[in-house]
Amino acid sequence: MLSRSLEKARHAYKEKDIEALRHAHDHHGDEPHKSDHGQYIKSAVYGGLDGIITTFAVVAGVAGASLSAGVVLILGFANLIADGLSMAIGDFLSTRAENEYKEAEYQREKWEFRNYPEGEKKEMIELYMAKGISEEDARTVVDIIAKDEKAWLSIMMVEELGILYDLESPLKNALVTFVAFAIFGFVPLVIPLLNWMEPGMIPSAFISSAAITGLTLFIVGALKSKFTERHWFISGLEMFLVGSVAAAAAYGVGELLSGLA
């Protein structure tokens, strides 16, 4: 548990308010050291971003080629399922591979510490001295840390290898990626689906689809700022521009190759 309020500390940093920072550190609450709020944000953001951009790229490409709403839906839903599964499987495998690498290094460090602690302590002292800490202070710190194996291993992983020993769930990452991809990827298909169910229900279908897609991209980017501490408008605008470039490219290719359909 921390005696500091992390949310208040973040707000103080954002406002550059020193008094608020002191108050955040004087806050005596039962706030956990770690939070799961942002643990899967990467998978959610990239899954959602890829879903909405790739699906709208299909819509834009079909619109550029002047094909029917039925073709939009066939290609769009095929992309939604195939690409969503592909991204989820990729996230699952990459997370598992990363976990396996971290675990292998952790076990190696444990074996080294248990069988030759003097060598490991010497290495840690050298690492701290390279940071500018005196040899005497480095030895004192290392001797204290070495009393707790778990603390030693966690710190050694970071100091020597730059690895934070924090294993994520491959399955949860994959599920978050797929769900985000499917939900946000469905947005560009809403207008074509409505017009397919009731022809002519929404005039200027492509423009309407582009509008709701652009708005959703902006909202996703703005929500991302809650975790990245960037200004919500800049974050939203950045994501909107990225999606616009991809959509424009897809539309151009569709129009260029329209004669093949």
Give tens-digit pLDDT for 155-212.
Answer: 989 988 888 888 888 999 899 999 999 999 999 999 889 988 888 788 888 888 889 9
Range of the domain at 28: 1-32
pTM: 0.72
Is residue 4 domain-shared with residue 96, that is, in the same domain? no
Is residue 54 domain-shared with residue 25, that is, in the same domain? no
Residue 107 Cα distances to 5, 110, 124, 153, 154, angstroms = 34, 5, 17, 9, 11
Is residue 6 domain-shared with residue 96, that is, in the same domain? no
Is residue 254 domain-shared with residue 227, that is, in the same domain? yes
Is residue 25 domain-shared with residue 68, that is, in the same domain? no
Is residue 10 domain-shared with residue 92, that is, in the same domain? no
Is residue 6 domain-shared with residue 92, that is, in the same domain? no
d(CA 168, CA 93): 12
Is residue 21 domain-shared with residue 70, that is, in the same domain? no
**Residue 114 maps to a domain:** no
- When divided into structural domains, the chain yields a total of 2
Is residue 3 domain-shared with residue 89, that is, in the same domain? no
Proportion of the chain above pLDDT 70, given as a percent: 87
pLDDT, position 9: 66
Residue 49 CB-density burial (10 A; 0-12 exposed, 13-18 middle, 19+ buried): buried
SS3 152: helix
Q: In 221-256, which positions are buried (b, 16+ CB within 10 angstroms) versus exposed (e)?
A: bbbbbeeeeeebeebbebbbeebbebbeebbeebee
**Residue 139 maps to a domain:** no
The stretch 78-106 carries a mean pLDDT of 92
The stretch 111-134 carries a mean pLDDT of 92
d(CA 46, CA 60): 20
**Residue 19 maps to a domain:** yes
Is residue 19 domain-shared with residue 51, that is, in the same domain? no
